[in-house]
Structure 1
Amino acid sequence: MKKVIALTGVLAILLASCSISKDARSKRNLLSGTWSLNDVSFENNTGNFKAVLFNDVEDICLEGSEWFFRDNNSTGRYTISPSTLCNGGDRYIRWSVVERAENYNSQLQFKFIDEKNKDISGGLGYRLNIENLTENTMTLKSNVQVDGAPVTVVYSFTKK
């Protein structure tokens, strides 16, 4: 009987240590669903930019893409419409919300998976700062370097 109680205690501690914060859970719930990426823009620098984002497609191809986040198993996808500039189709992802230290924004992180939810990115992924997240809108930002100068890529979404 003592072994059962001890095992139950260890299991409870293990489960509690694996849980996510209330703030992260709230953000996961808000993220869950289908979003339209309306605009990709650039801040903190001047000039015209043409960027390949997520080592996948040019920024113009992401505009108008549809993003789906499934909360119960942390999988999803984004869909690019085919065109002469864009290789269309679904890109499957595994995603999570990362809580950062005080005074820093939470982050959306994702990596690419196949249709069977197997990692195809060698464990590499992407993190975007969650600047704004409501039931209807989301703004994500990522900081990159262009010719040694900082540029912020801004992703503006609306929920479908």
Structure 2
Amino acid sequence: MIKQTFLFAALAVFLLSSCSVSKTARSQRNLFSGSWTLNNISYENNTGNFKSVIFNDADDICFEGSDWFFRDNNSTGRYTISSSTLCQGGDRFFRWSVVEPSQNYSSQLQFKFIDEKRKDISGGVGYRLNIASINEQNMTLKSNVSVDGEPVTIVYEFTKK
């Protein structure tokens, strides 16, 4: 009986630890929580003037000044784009998580679009941004894309509200 109890306890500990996230990912999740402003989008690793459609949603200029909110207790969030002649404003809802680092990349923010009722509207397609830096006041995310076969890094710079 003691062997069975010990085996059951060891199995429970293994299952709980295998489902948990690392201390680093948990810390980054906590830092994401709250309201942010996307202040600037810039481009690295290539020269020239760039204009892009971000997240298959709107032109890069529409995202500058957008408000982002991350709720860590249920992994949902939204960003709000202001209406203008160039931009269709409004809220966009998403489900998000922090992906553990691996040999190929640093920690990443991962998200996909959902509706107000938290139903997937993206057909399972999502986005991943490398977490270049994050602290209580600032966050920098980066995504690597290709333009005419050449690599370009899109840099997103946020400040916490």
TM-score, normalised with respect to structure 1: 0.92
Distance 1:2 1:101 in 2: 37
Distance 2:48 2:123 in 1: 34
Q: Which one-letter code corresponds to 1:44 in the other structure?
A: N
- Please tell me whether residue 41 in structure 1 is matched to residue 16 in structure 2: no
Aligned match of 1:24: 25
Aligned match of 1:159: 160
Q: Which one-letter code corresponds to 2:89 in the other structure?
A: G
DSSP 3-state at the match of 1:23: helix
The number of aligned residues is 160
- Please tell me whether residue 95 in structure 1 is matched to residue 96 in structure 2: yes
Aligned match of 2:15: 14
Residue deviations 1:102-151 (CA, integer Å, cap 9, x gap):
48421001000111111111111000000010100000000000011011
Comparing 90-99 with 4-13, which one deviates more in the overlay?
A: 4-13
Q: Which one-letter code corresponds to 1:37 in the other structure?
A: L
Distance 1:152 1:82 in 2: 27
Aligned match of 1:81: 82
1:50 Cα shift? 1.0
TM-score, normalised with respect to structure 2: 0.92
1:4 Cα shift? 8.1
Q: Which one-letter code corresponds to 1:86 in the other structure?
A: C
DSSP 3-state at the match of 1:47: coil
Q: Which one-letter code corresponds to 2:58 in the other structure?
A: V
Distance 1:116 1:30 in 2: 25
Q: Unaligned stretches of 5+ in structure 1? A: none
RMSD: 1.9
1:48 Cα shift? 1.2
Distance 2:64 2:136 in 1: 20
Q: Which one-letter code corresponds to 1:130 in the other structure?
A: I
Aligned match of 2:134: 133
Residue deviations 1:41-100 (CA, integer Å, cap 9, x gap):
111111111100100000000000000000111100000001111111111010001112
Aligned match of 2:119: 118
Fraction of identical pairs, as percent: 70
1:15 Cα shift? 2.4
Distance 2:87 2:4 in 1: 60
